[in-house]
Amino acid sequence: MEKTDLAALLPEAKQGNQKAQMAIITAFRPLVMKLAGQEKNLSLRPDLASTLVLGILEAIVKYPGEDPRRFPGFVKTHLNFLLSHYIRKEARWNKLKEKLYGQTQENYTEDFTLRVQRRELQDAFLCLAPDEQRLVYLAAGQRIPWKTLGEGFGKPVSTLYGRYQKALKKVREKVKRGSAGPGVRSQKRP
C-alpha cells in the first residue's frame, strides 16, 4: 500500500467511513492470510481471519495520532498480539476438552476394555459359592496370610489352598467362556 493512500484513508477510516476502512482491510489482506495460515485446523482458519480483520478495525480506532507512517507497524503488532492470544486460548480450550472428556480416544478404548474385563471377572466371581467367594476375597484381595485363614475357617491350610485353587480355576473357566468372542455369550446352566 502506498503511503499517500494510507495518509488519505486513515483519517477517514477513523471517522467511520466504511469505504476507507474496507480499503485498509484490503491492503492488509496478505498479512491477515499469512497469520491465519498459522492455524493448523483448516476449518478454523476463516474464523481466525475474521478475528484478525476485526483486529484491523480495532487498530484503526485505537491508532494514536494522525501520522500514517507508523500505522502498518501498529497494525502488524496488534494482529500478532491477537494471534498469540488466539493460540493461548486454543491451547487452554484443548486442555479443558481433555479434562472434560477425561482422556484421549486411545486411553478411552483401553479404559473401556479394562472395564469390560473387570465386569467379566466380577460376574465370574459371583458364580462361586459364598464360602469360595469369601476365601478368594480374603486370600487374593486382602492378602491375609494362609495360617490366619486356616484358623479363621477352622480348616487346615492345605485344604483351604486346594479350595482356593479350585475356585480360581472356576473363575478362569467362566471368564474364558465369557470372552469366547464377540456375540458369543455363555448361558447360565440350571
Give the CATH number, domain containing residue 137: 1.10.10.10
In a domain, 8, yes or no: yes
Q: Based on the domain organization, do 65 and 114 belong to the same domain?
A: no
Given a cut of 90, whether residue 166 has pLDDT beyond it is yes
- Listed in sequence order, the residues at least 6 apart from 132 whose beta carbon sits closer than 8 Å to its beta carbon are 163, 166, 167, 170
Q: Which domain, by its residues, includes 46? A: 3-101
Q: Based on the domain organization, do 79 and 35 belong to the same domain?
A: yes
In a domain, 25, yes or no: yes
In a domain, 21, yes or no: yes
In a domain, 146, yes or no: yes
Q: Based on the domain organization, do 86 and 141 belong to the same domain?
A: no
Average pLDDT, the chain: 82
Q: Pick from 75, 101, 127: which residue ends a domain? A: 101
Q: Pick from 45, 79, 101: which residue ends a domain? A: 101
76-103 b/e (C-beta count within 10 Å ≥ 16 → b): eebbeebbeebeeeeeeeeeeeeeeeee
Given a cut of 80, whether residue 1 has pLDDT beyond it is no
Q: Based on the domain organization, do 66 and 118 belong to the same domain?
A: no
Given a cut of 70, whether residue 184 has pLDDT beyond it is no
Q: Based on the domain organization, do 120 and 151 belong to the same domain?
A: yes
- For residue 68, the 8-state DSSP code is G
Q: Based on the domain organization, do 83 and 9 belong to the same domain?
A: yes
The structure's pTM equals 0.49
The mean pLDDT of 58-73, rounded to a whole number, is: 85
- Listed in sequence order, the residues at least 6 apart from 57 whose beta carbon sits closer than 8 Å to its beta carbon are 21, 25
Give the pLDDT score at 179. Answer: 61
- State pLDDT tens for residues 173-183: 888 887 654 44
Phi and psi of 187, rounded to 5°? -100, 145
Q: Based on the domain organization, do 19 and 93 belong to the same domain?
A: yes
In a domain, 190, yes or no: no
Q: Based on the domain organization, do 22 and 35 belong to the same domain?
A: yes
The mean pLDDT of 100-121, rounded to a whole number, is: 71
- For residue 140, the 8-state DSSP code is I
Q: Pick from 101, 119, 135: which residue ends a domain? A: 101
Give the pLDDT score at 28. Answer: 92
The mean pLDDT of 76-96, rounded to a whole number, is: 86
Vertex 67, ends 65 and 71: CA angle to 5°? 90
